[in-house]
Amino acid sequence: MGSTNTSGDLSSEMEVDAFRRLFPLHFHERHLLESIRTDARPLGKARDTSLALGAVASANGSALAKIGCTTMLAAIKMEVMTPTTESPDEGCIVIDFHMPPICSPIVRPGRPAEAAPVVSKQLSDTILSSGMIDLKELSLVSGKAAWMAYLDIYCLDADGALFDAALLSAVAAFSHLEIPVVSLNDDGRVVVVSDEDGGKLDKEAVNKEKRKLKLSSVSFSLTCILHKNYILADPTAEEESIMETLMTVDCVALTRQRVKELQKILNEAISDMEVD
Amino acid sequence: MEFVSPEGLRLDGRRPMEMRQIRAEIGAVSRADGSAVFEMGNTKVIAAVYGPREVQNRSQQINDQALVRCEYSMANFSTGDRMRKPKGDRRSTEISLVIRQTMEACILTHLMPRSQIDIFVQVLQADGGTRSACINAATLALADAGIPMCDLVTSCSAGYLNSTALLDLNYVEDSAGGPDVTVGILPKSEKVTLLQMDAKLPMDTFENVMQLAIEGCKAVATYIREVLLENTKQLEYRRGV
């Protein structure tokens, strides 16, 4: 084909960076023919993942997740609210995903990224429908008071696989979450007990000590890209922009391996925190 | 309430003329042209610079210099109570304007006509002095992006409580209602680019407080220069120079 020949001829004369910018698809395809990707990863391998729990000191639970260069900061803040009449024994979780302009050159102030509300909705659905958290655990006084957990996830660097990193940071933040101690005020309102007043507790505490949430069936995800007949796991932003088909949690074999890796990383992070 | 104990210690154990611990890191955001994380005590701020690039709104293009834009926003979890409206409120708009004007004074905009430089600042944790931390982070990010500037801009705040001038107020001292002076200077040329104050002070006390803030700015400038030198050494090392 004419265009392949042109780029083929030019590739011998041009610098690598220039060829990468001008003919990105050919650049990537030349790598795929050798079953390798532009950052020297094999096709099915994900980027280096790391987790840090407790990144934000002022929040009740927080985590910083990095998959390659994609960075997500998740923080949970708890507030007391009155539960609805249909479910007086259940608390509530509100999930919000933000993409501030620092994360990517395509996000402009005043024009939010297209990916932000999409990932936000996907994340909300996944976490609430997977049954990872039992809302009954967030109840304080049946019918009168329950916890509202606000989960805010900020994307600090958008380099592909946003949903994976966001889900990982959300799960990690929930596993780090400690429910604060509260007591009932004289007016019957629930008041958060701060550590300093711990000694002079004349009002009885509703829950005696800070406790952690029990997480069941934790979910992890893997985003993959399909191009011609190659399946690439964990794409970078460059790969996402030039190849069309994007799927999350589709290739079962790759996902199983990835789930094992992620579970191991999460457990290591949690055990590091407990030693402190 | 007592902010300075009789022994001369503040609420967090510092001396009146002592700054909080500062920490800076360059290149935190890989997608940005220049980025930096700046911490002053518990205040943590991340700044990213995109530019010089093509002007996105053609009508705002300036033919003989670069257009500088700035946006300041706070994370929902950055303050004690969760914030409802992290940007677009009056305080954020005011601080965005202040940072833009301060940085515009030192960027050599005439070298990059018809282009745009975007400075985005995100506050991750707020414990007083966010304005100063943002300006310091923006300076580092601009230097990381290689944008020509005539000098660094550093900033620090100072206040006056219990008849003592205090350097680098944290959130508790700031919300005490006493005067709060924020100063931004160009350390080499010894020029002031930003001066803001709340509440009132008699003139001679004001001069002392402002001088204290300027000393704080110079200390920040020394630290920033060290960080930039270290960063340059790393870059040289990686290139094999």
Residue B5 lies in a domain: no
Bridge partner list, B10: B4
What is the C-alpha separation between B136 and B44, in angstroms, rounded?
11
Could you tell me if A236 lies within 8 Å of chain B, comparing CB atoms? no
Q: Tell me the CA distances in angstroms from B239 to A16, B144, B231, B235, one per residue in order.
A: 17, 16, 13, 6
Please give the pLDDT value at position A248: 63
CATH number at residue B151: 3.30.230.70
Helix/strand/coil for A227: strand
User: Going from the N-terminus, what domains does chain A have, and what CATH number goes with each?
Assistant: 49-177+213-217 (3.30.230.70)
Q: Chain A residues with CB inside 8 Å of B73's CB?
A: 100
Domain that includes residue B90, residue range: 22-239
Residue B8 lies in a domain: no
What is the C-alpha separation between B40 and B174, in angstroms, rounded?
14
Q: Using an 8 Å Cβ cutoff, are A123 and A97 in contact?
A: yes
Residue B15 lies in a domain: no
Residue B9 lies in a domain: no
Handedness of CA A18, A19, A24, A28 (dihedral sign): negative
Dump strand ranges (E) for A15-69. 49-53, 61-67
pTM as predicted:
0.86
Residue B1 lies in a domain: no
**Banded model confidence at residue A79, pLDDT cuts 50, 70, 90:** confident
Among A27-36, A265-274, B228-237, whose mean pLDDT is lowest?
A: A265-274
> Mean pLDDT, to the nearest integer, of A219-235?
83
Please give the pLDDT value at position A207: 56
Which ipTM did the prediction report? 0.86
Instruction: Residue B76: count other Cβ atoms within 10 Å of its Cβ.
Output: 21
Q: Which of B30, B42, B121 sits opposite A57 (nearest CB)?
A: B42
Q: Which helix (H) or strand (E) holds B234?
A: helix B203-239
Number of domain units in chain B: 1
Any idea which residue has 């997480």 for tokens?
Answer: A215
Q: What pLDDT, in 10s, does the model give residues B88-139?
A: 788 899 999 999 999 999 999 999 999 999 999 999 999 999 999 999 999 9
Residue B176 lies in a domain: yes
Q: Which residue has the higher pLDDT, A14 or A161?
A: A161
Residue B145 lies in a domain: yes
Is B71–A109 a contact, with Cβ atoms under 8 angstroms apart? yes
Q: Chain B residues with CB inside 8 Å of A64's CB?
A: none
Residue B67 lies in a domain: yes
